[in-house]
Amino acid sequence: MTQETVISCQNLKHSYGEKHVLNGLNFEVQSGGIFGLLGKNGAGKTTTINILMGFLRPLSGACTVLGEPSNAISPQTRRDIGLLHERFIQYDFMSIQEIERFYSQFYPRWEHDVFYDLVGRLDVPKTRRISRMSCGQRSQVVLGLIMAQNPKLMLLDDYSMGLDVGYRRLFLEFLQEYVRERGTTVLVTSHVVQDLDKLIDQMIIIQHGKTLVAGSKDTFLSSFHHYSLPHSPQTERLVSSQRIANVEHSRTRTHVYTYLSALEFGERIERLGLSRESISETPMDFEDAFIGITGKY
Ligand SMILES: Nc1ncnc2c1ncn2[C@@H]1O[C@H](COP(=O)(O)OP(=O)(O)OP(=O)(O)O)[C@@H](O)[C@H]1O
């Protein structure tokens, strides 16, 4: 299948009053896969989604979504976008079965079975009003409504909010199979990355409104390393640079998160007058690497 650009953002800048949130953000999302828009709390993920959907006008820069400018998406194209937005659910006075019937009228590719595959697992009767459901149960209904639309593009902002660990796992497995079968393009935002390792292919990590990492998650994981060595006045001279993302000193050790290979890092350490034998490398999973590059605070 040939890939198309589904989302393109160029030089996005946005501020709320004096607070600069996006400082020239660029990224593209290609069709057919799960893309992660990641960053710590307050990094600007929801702001970016609001700009993509045309709810917010950026100070400068531009985005296209499914080939249309984000500030002028046509009603037809909007129907091809499934949006999970802060778990917001309209018409929560309806019951599960009423809301399913209601939504199905607006979406030509509606899939009744997908909705009940996800929502039928809830231990509540179909006649239960949404407003009388728990926060996690409401999230499950919203996800069912989005997936049943069979959209070309899904934007899932903080999909995991309120979901228990079992349902989160179930949903992620369901989503992966769904994307494989239909070729849907999905953009997920999250600050909780422990679930995303198996889910996403391409990603961008944003911090201070700019791109910290962009591209394939696997390439990032294979080229990013965590080395540590005994803390000393010499290791205090290791500072962040283009290839050293983050240096943290504890009382006894210095931890370095870097794109330098073991060989290159060894040379760097020897130039400080230390032995490369003192270095140890700690393997990182995706969450470790995310914390390593963004910092703990
Ligand atoms: N309407 C607003 N007015 C003023 N400041 C805002 C507004 N909306 C967001 N902010 C601020 O902008 C920054 C980015 O917020 P945003 O919601 O985009 O972050 P996020 O990456 O989605 O965070 P989280 O992971 O916590 O959901 C935060 O510092 C937030 O406090």
Least trusted range by pLDDT, from 5-9, 136-140, 171-175, 183-187: 136-140
Q: What is the mean pLDDT of residues 37-59?
A: 93
Domain boundary assignment for the chain:
5-219, 224-294
Residue with CA nearest ligand 1 atom 11 = 42
- Whether ligand 1 lies within 6 angstroms of the CB of 187 is answered as no
Class of domain 5-219: alpha beta
How many whole angstroms separate alpha carbon 166 and alpha carbon 20?
38
The number of C-alpha atoms within 13 Å of 105 and in the hemisphere containing its C-beta is 4
Per the CB < 8 A criterion, the answer to whether 295 and 249 are in contact is: no
For a mutational test of ligand 1's pocket, the pick from 14, 18, 45, i.e. the residue with the most ligand atoms closer than 8 A to its C-beta, is 45
How far does the centroid of ligand 1 lie from the alpha carbon of residue 65, in Å? 22
Q: How far is the CA of 175 from the centre of ligand 1 (A)?
A: 27
Between CA 195 and CA 63 the distance in angstroms is 28
**Ligand 1 in contact with 47 (CB < 6 A)?**
yes
Please report the pLDDT score of residue 220 as a whole number.
96
For 98-150, write each residue's pLDDT tens digit.
999 999 999 999 999 999 988 888 788 889 998 888 888 888 888 899 999 99
Mean pLDDT of 215-223: 96
- Assembly ipTM: 0.97
Return the top range by mean pLDDT from 39-53, 112-126, 156-170: 39-53
Residue owning the nearest CA to atom 30 of ligand 1: 42
- Check pLDDT > 70 for residue 88: no
Higher-pLDDT residue of 168 and 275 is 275
3-class DSSP string for the chain: CCCCEEEEEEEEEEEECCEEEEEEEEEEEECCEEEEEECCCCCCHHHHHHHHCCCCCCCEEEEEECCEEHHHCCHHHHCCEEEECCCCCCCCCCEHHHHHHHHHCCCCCCCHHHHHHHHCCCCCCCCCEHHHCCHHHHHHHHHHHHHHCCCCEEEEECCCCCCCHHHHHHHHHHHHHHHHHHCCEEEEEECCCCCCCCCCCEEEEEECCEEEEEEEHHHHHHHCEEEEEECCCCHHHCCCCCCEEEEEECCCEEEEEECCCHHHHHHHHHHCCCCHHHCEECCCCHHHHHHHHHCCC
The 10s digit of each residue's pLDDT in 35-45 is 999 999 899 99
pLDDT at 87: 62
